[in-house]
Structure 1
Amino acid sequence: MRLSRSFLPTLKENPAEAQIVSHRLMLRAGLIRQTASGIYAWLPAGLKVLRNISQIVREEQDRVDAQEVLMPTLQSADLWRRSGRYDAYGPEMLRIQDRHKRELLYGPTNEEMVTDLFGQTVKSYKDLPQVLYHIQWKFRDEMRPRFGVMRGREFLMKDAYSFDVDYASAVATYRRMMLAYLRTFQRLGVRAVPMRADTGPIGGELSHEFLILAPTGESGVFYDAALEDQDWLDEPVDTNNPDALEAFFTRVTTPYAATDEMHDTVAWDAVPDEQKREGRGVEVGHIFYFGTKYTQSMGVSVSGADGGQFFPEMGSYGIGVSRLAGAIIEACHDENGIIWPDSVAPFRAAILNLKSGDAVCDEMCEQIYAKAPEDFLYDDRPERAGVKFADADLMGHPWQIVVGPRSAKEGRVELKRRATGERQELSVDEALALVLAG
């Protein structure tokens, strides 16, 4: 894409309404624009980030045999009355009526709908387990939406829902999903810590939330240093082996970790002093096991091996996709702007023409652009070099291919790595090879 023809409206100054780093940088880098309180339009670069995050989430869900569906944003109030949650959920739920006065709601979550869909289809224990997920927009009417996409009213989320034949199978699914989550965050280029958590209004008895460690995070985090090294996630885990899953689960939950709210409920004193760490974190995911809470309340049963009926055991697994875009920025930025991990960056590299109109610079940039894949951004604007450098750092491209008059005459470019600031002078082919190798 040529920057001169793109819809990437960057801002030089920090917007007055933006209180946290990710909100400021998302507005300044042209990723989002607010359309109403807590509701944002995602501009082309921001949408690319959402799609990149969604794809990684999708691949890791598929890897543990979850199946993708797409449920509607609008739900019938009758479904929620069957579970008993319609009146109990609270003012965060947006309740509406259609022209026939039928009561609907804009879904804040999908336990009721997926349980009903499951009940319409699955009738026998032989069809279990089932894990269904979708990536869909949701709405919760926050009283005070703030911090940009970190606490908005409309948000993109991945929900997965599991149905198992018994408790042991449900716990195995829960552990399998925890592995998928940790692998997801690793691929996104951030370190996430699993924390034992309250189940909240969704209910249940087993729950963990995942916090990305970030200096500007919203929650205080207390954790064992053993959780900092997650390279072992690259090791294979037989997800169909309950013993292997239990060993994995023990490995990630034995070091104690907690947020401010849960600090007094974990054995913090059991952690050696030299292993204790404190920091800040941003919640980006939450998983629950809640048994037969919804299948039983909604009357959804299947036939068992003995011919009788039973209520399947359920779990729910959420990742905030749009929230992750902000959380990654909170964890990956400096005073000059965003530092995107390679896996989620809207553009892999920016080609910076430091002297547009110079025949040699223009020709070399056009040659690079012709060889480059679609995720390269060519800054062909007739702007000063300083402006181009500042915008490239602000937008956080992992690589910058810098073309200036002197180096262009020698057939070379300067390649800059955004994360480290490292610069090296290379031939065009060498620079492209290095960028494409990741």
Structure 2
Amino acid sequence: MRVSNFFISTQKEAPADAEVASQALMLRAGMIKKLAAGLYTYMPLGLRTIRKVEAIVREEMNRAGAIELLMPVVQPAELWQESGRWEKYGPELLRIKDRHQRDFVVQPTSEEVITDLARSEIRSWRQLPVNFYHIQTKFRDERRPRFGVMRAREFVMKDAYSFDRDFDGAQRSYRVMYAAYQNIFQRFGFEFRAVAADSGAIGGSMSHEFHVIAETGEDAIAYCPDSSYAANVELAEALPLIPARQAPAEDLCRTPTPGAAKCEDVASLLGLPLSRTVKSVVMAADTRGDKGQVLSTQIVLLLVRGDHAVNDIKVSKLPGMADARMATEAEIVDAFGCRPGYIGPIATAKPLRVVADRTVVNMHDFVVGANVEDFHYTGVNWGRDLPEPEVADIRNVVAGDPSPDGKGQLAICRGIEVGHVFYLGTKYSAAMGASYLDENGKSQTLEMGCYGIGITRILGACIEQNHDARGMIWPEAIAPFTVVICPIAYERNAAVREAADRLHAQLQEAGMDVVLDDRGERPGAMFADWELIGVPHRLVVSERGLAAGTLEYQHRRDEAPTSVRLDGVLAHLRQRSQS
């Protein structure tokens, strides 16, 4: 490839609205062009990387036995109504009507379509197991698109869906896809972790997320440095930090705490550690009728230690709390007789459900709100001062917590989710009647798995993990080009031009993805462009080097160039590619 036959469009400054490094660098390098909020045109450089990502994904999916097909972007609403997600998915689902006023969606995912396909095509146990995948454009109507391609409204994903006879078969398919994902992200050259995760809107009872480790990641990951344990903080089990409850040592006392509405303020005012306080969070669980009307509302008081935070995902898994919401101030005043900031579980205005975290239930002589403005209770103890609560794991883990596997302490890092594998079970197949006939001619419901990779998100995540002040640093496997030849005075020096052309042909013949910069740019501007773009290997051809029988080589991660003999360039590139 010659730059004169390609299209390079770099710029010195990033747009002012670029929020993260990947967004700024992709725009500066001319990999993407913004069309509207969350909508991008992928320019030739960006598309080359996308195609390399897709190629690796296809190779590994095919190797794992998955079969490629292609499902539509636009899907009939009837399928989503059949699965129950037409109402449940929320405003991210883009709903449209055709000229006949029939409802359709611009698909964010394809569970309904693949299940419809399976129920029409899979008849017998002899057709199982089978795994279909496609690489297709998706659309999610994000409320606030941000971070460039990492939180865009339109994006490209790889979806795969496995169908099996039973639970054991589905688990085998899950493990095969898990291993395939490990291979994919290793081939990309990423530092990544596979973490236990919540299934979210897709559903299912088991899932793992694959995260590229990066400080700008939106997700917090809890992991144990001394073992293989890793989980999204939303799912990581929080063990009790106090092994057993001690006997009361203080009397219950209603203590003035003027203006101290937060646990931090209360602890400071009373001269106590924050860990002696208990935070009260009030939720409301509505019971609804067939038409969505609220029939009744249960107020639920959640208690966590003052230095901890409530985990909404864990709370949603408690009985009756799947659709719980934060209580309104009016509901809080009605239940506690006091405005937020001073509420607690003692002497509430109305009976209510109290759920305490595992650590809180083992505390003694702690501090809670007194349900009177500017007052808190000190010396509070379970059993003596208030009834024993319902106990559950409802908090986020923090660094230093014991690892759930018992092999050390947890650490926290940030990650960017780039892949997710789900065991779906019969969530969709049962709802949509997808079944097969077993050996005895009896109808059985298909067991399903779902496996996604964010193809275009991979680009942003890779850059967040691999960049410096000069620009992007692409792993060789998915770089837009592997090698760039930068000739000095290409248009003015015949010897340089002939040597550069010859080297370009030699590397092409050797199967390398090489680009020759024949624009005649000044060295500084030319080098800056390719450092911004992040091509792994740079070869500089100059008159001085040719006189010595050498050229200048520099890997994108090298601090300085080195001289390489002209007759040893190919061997040197191959050696550096393997290192």
TM-score, structure 1 normalization:
0.90
- 1:3 positional shift: 2.1
- 1:70 positional shift: 0.7
* Structure 2 residue aligned with 1:18: 18
> Are 2:198 and 2:234, in contact at CA under 8 Å, matched by a contact in 1?
no
- Structure 1 residue corresponding to 2:533, chosen from 364, 383, 395: 395
- Structure 1 residue corresponding to 2:442, chosen from 304, 308, 311: 308
Q: Distance in 1 between matches of 2:5 and 2:17?
A: 28
> Are 1:8 and 1:43, in contact at CA under 8 Å, matched by a contact in 2?
no
* Cα offsets for 1:176-226 (capped at 9, x unmatched): 111111111000010221111111111111111111112332223221236
* Structure 1 residue aligned with 2:431: 297
Q: CA RMSD in A?
A: 1.9
Alignment of 1:1-16 (within 5 A): 1-16=1-16
SS of residue matched to 2:96: strand
Q: Distance in 2 between matches of 1:55 and 1:79?
A: 31
* 1:257 aligns to 2:230 (yes or no): yes
SS of residue matched to 1:48: helix
> Are 2:224 and 2:407, in contact at CA under 8 Å, matched by a contact in 1?
no
SS of residue matched to 1:35: strand
Q: Distance in 2 between matches of 1:221 and 1:116?
A: 35
Q: Distance in 2 between matches of 1:276 and 1:35?
A: 42
- 1:272 positional shift: 7.6
> Are 1:149 and 1:155, in contact at CA under 8 Å, matched by a contact in 2?
yes
* Structure 1 residue aligned with 2:568: 430
* Structure 2 residue aligned with 1:368: 503
Alignment of 1:315-354 (within 5 A): 315-354=449-488
Task: Rate the CA distance shift 1:422–1:128 in 2: closer, same or farther, 3 A.
Answer: farther
* Structure 2 residue aligned with 1:106: 106
SS of residue matched to 2:402: helix
Task: Rate the CA distance shift 1:30–1:120 in 2: closer, same or farther, 3 A.
Answer: same
What code does the residue aligned with 2:230 have?
Answer: A
Task: Rate the CA distance shift 1:165–1:276 in 2: closer, same or farther, 3 A.
Answer: same
Task: Rate the CA distance shift 1:379–1:274 in 2: closer, same or farther, 3 A.
Answer: farther
Structure 1 unpaired stretches of 5+? 227-253
Q: Distance in 2 between matches of 1:272 and 1:112?
A: 40
SS of residue matched to 1:400: strand
- 1:263 positional shift: 4.0
- 1:88 positional shift: 1.7
* Structure 1 residue aligned with 2:523: 385
Q: Distance in 1 between matches of 2:482 and 2:70?
A: 30
- 1:313 positional shift: 0.5
Q: Distance in 2 between matches of 1:145 and 1:63?
A: 35
Task: Rate the CA distance shift 1:322–1:78 in 2: closer, same or farther, 3 A.
Answer: same
- 1:421 positional shift: 3.6
- 1:401 positional shift: 0.5
Alignment of 1:122-271 (within 5 A): 122-225=122-225, 255-265=228-238, 268-270=401-403
- 1:275 positional shift: 6.9
TM-score, structure 2 normalization:
0.68
- 1:274 positional shift: 7.1
Q: Distance in 2 between matches of 1:61 and 1:15?
A: 37
Structure 2 unpaired stretches of 5+? 240-396
What code does the residue aligned with 1:364 have?
Answer: A
* 1:358 aligns to 2:496 (yes or no): no
The more displaced of 426-435 and 345-354 is 426-435
* Structure 2 residue aligned with 1:284: 418
Q: Distance in 2 between matches of 1:22 and 1:187?
A: 20
Q: Which structure has the highest helix share of the two?
A: 1
The more displaced of 404-413 and 67-76 is 404-413
* Cα offsets for 1:252-294 (capped at 9, x unmatched): xx72223343345479513688775432211101111121111
Q: Distance in 2 between matches of 1:420 and 1:214?
A: 21
Q: Distance in 2 between matches of 1:94 and 1:120?
A: 26
- 1:5 positional shift: 4.0
- 1:434 positional shift: 2.8
What code does the residue aligned with 2:518 have?
Answer: D
> Are 1:182 and 1:192, in contact at CA under 8 Å, matched by a contact in 2?
no
The more displaced of 186-195 and 370-379 is 370-379
The more displaced of 215-224 and 22-31 is 215-224
* Structure 2 residue aligned with 1:244: none
Q: Distance in 2 between matches of 1:273 and 1:200?
A: 28
- 1:132 positional shift: 0.5
Task: Rate the CA distance shift 1:275–1:381 in 2: closer, same or farther, 3 A.
Answer: farther
> Are 2:534 and 2:556, in contact at CA under 8 Å, matched by a contact in 1?
yes
* 1:417 aligns to 2:555 (yes or no): yes
* Structure 2 residue aligned with 1:95: 95
Task: Rate the CA distance shift 1:265–1:28 in 2: closer, same or farther, 3 A.
Answer: same
What code does the residue aligned with 1:75 have?
Answer: Q
What code does the residue aligned with 2:505 have?
Answer: A
The more displaced of 348-357 and 421-430 is 421-430
> Are 1:26 and 1:32, in contact at CA under 8 Å, matched by a contact in 2?
yes
Q: Distance in 1 between matches of 2:560 and 2:415?
A: 28
SS of residue matched to 2:15: coil
The more displaced of 311-320 and 363-372 is 363-372
- 1:37 positional shift: 1.2
- 1:140 positional shift: 0.4
